[in-house]
A and B are shown apart, each in its own frame.
Chain A
Amino acid sequence: MIENRPVSTFISHAVLLAGVAIVLFPIWITIVAASHDAARLLQVPLPLGLGDQFYENLKEVIGKGVGNTAPLGLMLFNSLVMALMIAIGKIVVSLLSAYAIVYFDFKFRMLFFWMIFITLMLPVEVRILPTYEVVAKLGMLNTYWGLTLPLIASATATFMFRQTFLSVPDELLEAARIDGAGPMQFFFDILIPVSRTSIAAMFVILFIYGWNQYLWPLLITTDKNMVTIVMSIKTMMEALEELPKWHHIMMTALLAMIPPVLVVIGMQKLFVKGLTETEK
C-alpha cells in the first residue's frame, strides 16, 4: 500500500487478529475439549486451556469408537476411501468429458453439454430421495460405489475444466498437430500437464467435498462398518440420552477435520490459485 502510517497498519492488524481469533476460537476449544476428561467438561465454567487427557481420549476413540460406533480408525479409512474415490473419480470423468466438449465437434455436443451443465451445482441433497431409490434398486446400499458414484454425477468439475481448457491457447493444439501428436497424445502430453494447477485445485475442493459429505452417507449406510467419521459425530451426539460425551465427540471432531485441513493448508497455493482463477 502507499502510505505506511503506523496507526492504520496497526488497526488493520488488530482487526485481522480479531478476525482470526473469532474464526479459530471454535477450533481451539475443540482441541481444548479433546484434551480433558468427561467430568471436567461438565463443570461450569469450562476450561480454556489444554488438559492432560489428550492421548487417553485419542487412544480410546481410535481403538474402540464411541458408544456403539465402529472404531474411529475404520471410519477414518472409510472417509478417506470415499473422499479419494469422489475426488479422483470426478476428476477423471470430468477431464474426459470436458476434453470432448471443448475439442471435439460431435453430434449432440451441445445437448450433452447442457445435460451435464444442468447438474452443475445441483447438490445431492435436492434429489436425495429418488437417488436413494435408484441406488437401492442397483443394490449399492452399504457399498463404496453407492457412496461415491451418485456424488460423481455433479458437473462442477466438468464445467471448471471446460473453462480451463478454453483458456489454453489454440496455437498449442496447432503446434501439437504439426508436431504429429494425435488426440490422445495431445491430451496426455500437453493438456493435462498444462492444466495441472486446476486439477490440483479441483482435487482439494473435491477431496473436501467428499470428506465432508454427510446426508448421503447417512442415508445409504446402515452397516456400521461403512460409517464415515463425519457421520459418526451426529450418532455420538444422539448416542446418550442425557449429556453428550463431549471429550470423545470433540476428539472425533478434531480427527474429522484434520485430514481436510491438512490438504487445504498443504496445497494452499495451488488451491487458492486454481480456485480463484478457474471458478471466476
Chain B
Amino acid sequence: MSHILLKGVEKIYPNGYKAIHGIDMEIEEGEFIVLVGPSGCGKSTLLRMVAGLEDITNGEVHIAGRKVNDLEPSQRDIAMVFQNYALYPHMTNYKNMAYGLKNLGTPKDEIDKRVKEVAKLLELEDLLDRRPKELSGGQRQRVAMGRAIVRKPTAFLFDEPLSNLDAKLRVQMRLVIKNLQARLGTTTLYVTHDQVEAMTMADRLIVLKDGIAEQIGTPMELYDKPETKFVGGFIGSPAMNFIDATLSSDFDEIQFQDTKLPLKTKLNSQSSNIIFGFRPEHVTLVDNSAMSLHVELVEHLGAESIIHAKLGETPITLRLNGHIEAKNGDTLNVDIDADRYHFFEKESGLRL
C-alpha cells in the first residue's frame, strides 16, 4: 500500500495562476523522494500542499491511508524542516524540540525522554540549553531536524534544508540526513533545486518544471533515460550537450553541420528535424573522427578536465579523465559512445 498518495493534485491561485498541474504519484513507506527543479517550478508549493500550509485546489492527498485535504497541518502527522529552520528564537533548543509534543499533550517525562534521545542521535546534547541564536548554521540545521524527529511523524518534509549552509557543510549534512532517514525508515519528501543533492539523496525523484512533473524515477533512470530534453539538461553536471540535427530519410543516420553519425537502430520520428543530445562524459578523444571541435577553454580539476569547445557555433562541453593538454584554438577529434545517444523531438522536447 502506498504511504503518501497524490491524486491529480493541482494548485490554482486566486489570480488564476496555475502553479501545479495535476500531479499523480505513489510513494512507498520509507522511501526518500526528492522534488527537484529550477526556482519557481512549484516544488515548494507542492511540498507545502502535502504539509497543509497551502490549500489543495483540485485532487487529493492521502497520508498513511487517510485523505488529508481538509486536515490542519498538525493533524496530518507530518514534520517539516524549513529552509531558514524557523526555530523559535526565544526558546532554548530543548524547548524548540519539545514544543510540538507539548501541544499534543504528551506527558513531561515522555517529552524529556524523546528529546534527549534525539539530541543524542544528532549530537546536540551539550547544546540543549542554548538558544538558536548562539548556534552555528549546521547546528541550527540539526536542531530543526531534531524538532521534526522527536515527533515520530509518518513523514518528514524538507524544504531546501541545506541551501543556507556552506558547500562543505552541505556535503556533510547530505550524508547525515540520508543516514538518519535510512535508520529511522521514515517516508521523506525533500525539496531542493540542487540536482547533485537530488541525485545523491533520492530513492526516487520528481523533476518539476512550471508545475508539471517532467519525470518521476530513480536517479539512474533519469540519468540514463531522461524523458524530456529538460530533464536531460537538468540532471547531470556539466549539463548534457544538445545539437540540432537532421534525421536521414531511412531513419538510420543523423547529420549536423559537417558531421554524419550512423545509428545502431532506426529512430522512429515524425519529423526529420530533431535534437541530438549526449553527455560530456560519454566521449573519447581519437586521432581521427567525424567530429572535430575547437577548444575555447580548459578547466583542470586534477582528476578530470572539463573542456569548453565549439562545434561551429554550438557550444559543447566535454568531461575527460586525467589531465588533458589542450589550449584555446586547438582542434580535438572526438567519438561519442553510440549506446549513449539521446534524441528529443524538436517541438515538444519529448524523448524519441
Q: Mark A residues whose CB is within 8 Å of B.
A: 169, 171-172, 174-181, 185, 189-190, 193-194, 196
Contacts and interface: CB of A to CB of B under 8 A. Distances in A.
A115 to B, nearest CB: 25
B86 A175 contact: yes
B208 interface: no
B51 interface: yes
Nearest to B148: A178
Contact of A179 (B52, B89, B100): B100
Nearest to A179: B100
Contact of B88 (A172, A178, A180, A196): A172
Contacts of B89: 194
Nearest to A168: B89
17 contacts: A169-B86, A171-B84, A171-B86, A172-B86, A174-B73, A174-B82, A175-B80, A175-B82, A175-B88, A177-B72, A178-B51, A178-B73, A178-B74, A178-B79, A178-B100, A193-B88, A194-B88
Interface residues on chain B, size class: 20 to 34
Residue of A178, A181, A185 ringed by the most chain B CB atoms within 10 A: A178
A157 B86 CA distance: 26
Interface of B: 48, 51-53, 72-74, 78-80, 82-84, 86-91, 99-100, 103-104, 147
Contact of B74 (A177, A189, A190, A193): A177
Say whether chain A's binding surface is mostly helix, strand, loop, or mixed.
helix
Contacts of B78: 178
Contacts of B88: 172, 175-176, 189-190, 193-194
Contact of A185 (B82, B87, B103, B147): B103
Contacts of A175: 80, 82, 86-88, 147
Nearest to A171: B86
Given A180-B100, A196-B90, 4 more contacts: A172-B86, A177-B73, A179-B99, A181-B103
Contacts of A176: 88, 99
A172 B80 CA distance: 12
A173 B80 CA distance: 12
A84 to B, nearest CB: 25
A169 B88 CA distance: 10
A189 B103 CA distance: 11
Contacts of B100: 178-180
B54 to A, nearest CB: 10
A171 B82 contact: yes
A264 to B, nearest CB: 25
Contacts of A172: 86, 88
B153 to A, nearest CB: 9
